Structures are given as C-alpha cells and as structure tokens.
Amino acid sequence: MSKKNELIQSVKGTRDLLPGETPLWQRVEEEARRVFEAYNFREIRTPILEQTALFARSVGSDTDIVTKEMYTFEDRDSESLTLRPEATASVVRAYIEHGLYNEGGVHKLYYFGPMFRRERPQKGRYRQFYQIGAEVLGSDHPTIDTEVLEMLVLLLERLGLKEFKLLLNSVGCPKCRPEYLKKLRHALDAVKTKLCTDCQRRAQTNPLRVLDCKVEADQPVIEKLPYILDHLCSECRQHFECVTGELDERGVAYEIVPRLVRGLDYYTRTTFEITSGLLGAQNAMLGGGRYDGLSEMLGGPPAPGFGFAIGQDRLVLTVEESAALKMKAPLAVYVAWMGEAAREPAVRLACQLRREGISTEISFQQMKLKKSLGIANKLQARHTIIIGEEEVASGHYQLKDMETGEQRAVDAVQLVAAIKEKLGETFQSGRAPSSQAK
C-alpha cells in the first residue's frame, strides 16, 4: 500500500469516544452540573489556546508540565501559544481580564473540557484528556475549602462510588514556606545522590517538587525528609485546623498525608487528592487546593482562590469498573411500519415523539415485521410501535414492550401519552435511567 493510501489513525495518546461510551460520560457530566449548581456554582468556558506565558508564570517554569509536557508552538505572528495543560490559570486569567472582581463577593465557577499534556499514555491517562473542575475566587476563608471538599464527596457518592479516599495536607504560605525550604534543602544535600536524576535537579531548583516524585525507588528517602506540617506559621496552622475541624463536623472522612504537595507551584495552604483503589498504582482521580497568590502572579488584584480538577477519563473509568452506574440503551422507541398507507402516519408519529424529547428511530424503507423487530432488538429499543394498514384503518397502533414481549393496541391519539407514561420522566431527552447507589 502506498503512503498516500495508508490508513490514518488517531494521534498517539488521543482516542475517539464512541456512541457506546458517551452515555456514561454524559451521565457523569449531568450529575456534576446538578451537584455544582446546588452549591451555587456557574459555568465558565475558556479557550483551549492560551499564551505560553500564562502557564510558565502560574504552573511553574520548573514543573514537569512546563518543561516536558506542554504542547507549545509559534503561530504565524511568532507568538508563543500553548494548548492548555490545565484550566485553573485560564479561569483566573478570565476573572482578571473581564474584571469579575469588580462585582465584589465570591465567584464560584465550574468548567468541563479537554486539556493537553505530552505524558506517557497509561491506564486512564491520555495526551488529550478531559477535566471537570471548579474554582472559588474572592475569599481565603477555610469554610470555602471545607464546602468544596464536601461537594466533591457528595458528587462521588451520587455517582455511586464508595472506594475512595480524601487525602489532605497544608503546604504553608509565603510567610512560613521559605524557612521550611531551607530545612528541606539542607536535608536533601545529604541524600540527593540517592534520588532519581529529576529529583537531583529539583533539589537545587525547586525542592518542594521532590516530595511529588512518583519514582518508587525514591520513596524511602523522601519519607525521611522534614514534614511541612511541622513548620507552618500560626495563621496556616489555624487555617488547616479550621478545615479539618469543619470536615469532622460535617462527617467528611479524610486522611492527613504530610508528603502531599501536588505538582503545581501556585498552591498555598490546603492541598488535597482523592484516590481510588480501582485505578491501580497511579490511583489519583482528582486533586486541587488553595492558590491565594495566583491572581497577583498573573497581574491581577488580590483574589484568594480554592479549586480542583477531576480527571474525567479516570473518573469515568472508576465509575465503569465499580459498576456504579448501569447505563441502558438510549433508544426508547422504534417505529415499524408496513405498507405505503402506513408510511406517512408513522413518520408523523416519529416526529411527534422526538419533539416530546423521546428518542425514536424509524425505518427508512418498508420491510417485513420480523425484520423490523430484529432491528429494534439490535438497537435495544425499549418499545416498538407497529403500524400497518389495518392499524391505520382502525386508528389503533400496536405498542410492544421489547423487554417483556407484552403487546397491546393503543388509540393513535393517546399513543404519545401512553409512551410517556410507560417510560417515565427518566427517559426524557432520550436518556435511560441509571441504577444509582444511594
């Protein structure tokens, strides 16, 4: 086969989400919207392309994301652009650029969308991946941290997940962190030769990143390094104690992990991850924390923030593997017609059902009933409406339940109401119900 005729495949680390997969993705997104909006969050949509400087300044020029993973290029105007590797910086940039801070108060924002990092593809990790996230801008009150964590736990419970852990830490602030970093550098000087090449470099340029190392052989060395929790200033300690105290009051379980620092430079005070045992060794499903200085870092006014990002690919994988949501076929009704006299009323009925938000399929050409029922079964339709010349003449169409096999004649005028009653509200918008764990 010539090069010209070779099959073109998707780019490494990307994938197609096929029709059999997307109902579960939609279900997860819908539940996230419901939970976020119950906590008064509003949606924001930011561009996929941003100026490279946005991420170099916010994420950190020495992080793996900036040094190894970003998709960066010069456009025709010689401007350096980057496919967004994360969305927090973009949301804060939009908050500053559009002067949302002038409105006063706290801004609660959520988003969905693709991100891009040139990572090594592995289970649940892709180079084009999807995130569900939320940010709260305008207050440094610890109750915000607690409320967002409570919201996340509620979302996971609504999705039927049980096997997850909330891991929590504080990484201090610009007041107390420098003194801790001095102690950390001193401790690293004695052991850095035992660490991986990346960590040897980080020990000089950004020692906090050493604590985020995932290399298994480095963990015994890292475990003996000083804990940042032992070096918090009084304000940071009080903030962290308020967060954990309120989590206790709300009955939200958590585990304090002193090594948890996350992989981005803008974090201050509270940092967290939620992990799932269903994901294997790389078990982080989502994470985030507080970033009180990010707005100023990007040229904006003081605007304390707290937020998170969920790896949607990994969340869907976890939901799928836990069998938390059972997605049924999206097709509610198949209309089978026989004889030219039945074609026009069948088409009208299909149109009417679709206008009512009931997912409907209809054969494009006349065929025998047996073949039509075979197609309805293949499409996993819940019901089949059978319209032949006799049904048109009598004004009563046959309604067949494809699960039970029950079939009965229904007045054509009452048919849409009968279908809606049979399906119930959960089948509106063409979507099947889920067996959600309570």
For 12, which DSSP code? T
Quote the DSSP letter at residue 438.
-
3-class secondary structure, 340: helix
Pairing of strands 383-387, 333-337: parallel
Does 59 score more than 70 pLDDT?
Answer: yes
Q: If you average pLDDT over residues 277-287, what whole number do you get?
A: 74
The lowest-confidence range among 8-17, 86-95, 189-198 is 189-198
* Residues 309 and 86: beta-carbon distance below 8 Å: yes
For 35-50, the pLDDT digits (tens) are: 999 999 999 999 999 9
Stretch 271-283: mean pLDDT, rounded?
77
CA distance 114 to 111: 10
Weakest mean pLDDT among 179-193, 199-213, 302-316: 199-213
What is the pLDDT of the chain when averaged over all its residues?
A: 87
The pLDDT score that the predictor gives to residue 329 is 59
Could you report the per-residue pLDDT of 201-225, keeping only the tens digit for each?
888 888 888 887 878 888 888 888 8
Position with higher pLDDT, 325 vs 196: 196
Instruction: Determine contact, residues 345/392, Cβ cutoff 8 Å.
Output: yes
Listed residue (325, 330, 343, 285) closest to 309, CA to CA = 285
Read off the pLDDT of residues 340-357 as tens digits, 9 standing for 90 and up: 999 999 999 999 999 988
Question: Rounded to the nearest 10 degrees, how much is the dihedral formed by the CA atoms of 105, 92, 22, 166?
Answer: -70
Tokens of 366: 């006349």
Cβ-based neighbour number of residue 423 at 10 Å: 18
The pairing of beta strand 255-256 with beta strand 164-170: parallel
Q: Burial code of 196-215, b = ≥16 C-beta within 10 A, e = fewer?
A: bebbebbbeebbbbbbbbee
In the chain, domain spans:
9-176+232-321, 333-430
- The answer to whether the beta carbons of residues 365 and 336 sit under 8 Å apart is no
367-419 pLDDT per residue, tens: 999 999 999 999 889 999 999 999 999 999 999 999 899 999 999 999 999 99
Domain 9-176+232-321 listed as CATH 3.30.930.10: yes
Q: How far apart are CA 132 and CA 215, in angstroms?
A: 27
Q: What is the pLDDT of residues 80-116, one digit of tens each?
A: 999 999 999 999 999 999 999 999 899 999 999 999 9
Q: Identify the pLDDT of residue 283.
A: 77
d(CA 211, CA 207): 8
Mean pLDDT of 427-436: 39
| pLDDT for 430 | 40
Contact 64, 263 (CB under 8 A): yes
Q: Domain 333-430 belongs to what topology?
A: Rossmann fold (3.40.50)
Residues ≥6 apart with Cβ < 8 Å to 103: none
Distance in angstroms (rounded) separating the CA atoms of residues 47 and 8:
27
| Lowest mean pLDDT, pick from 64-73, 134-143, 184-193, 360-369 | 64-73
Is residue 425 very low, low, confident or very high in pLDDT (cuts 50, 70, 90)?
Answer: very low
pLDDT of 435: 32
Residue 162 has pLDDT above 70, yes or no: yes
- Per-residue pLDDT at 350: 92
- Quick one: average pLDDT of 283-306? 92
Structure confidence at residue 253 (pLDDT) = 94
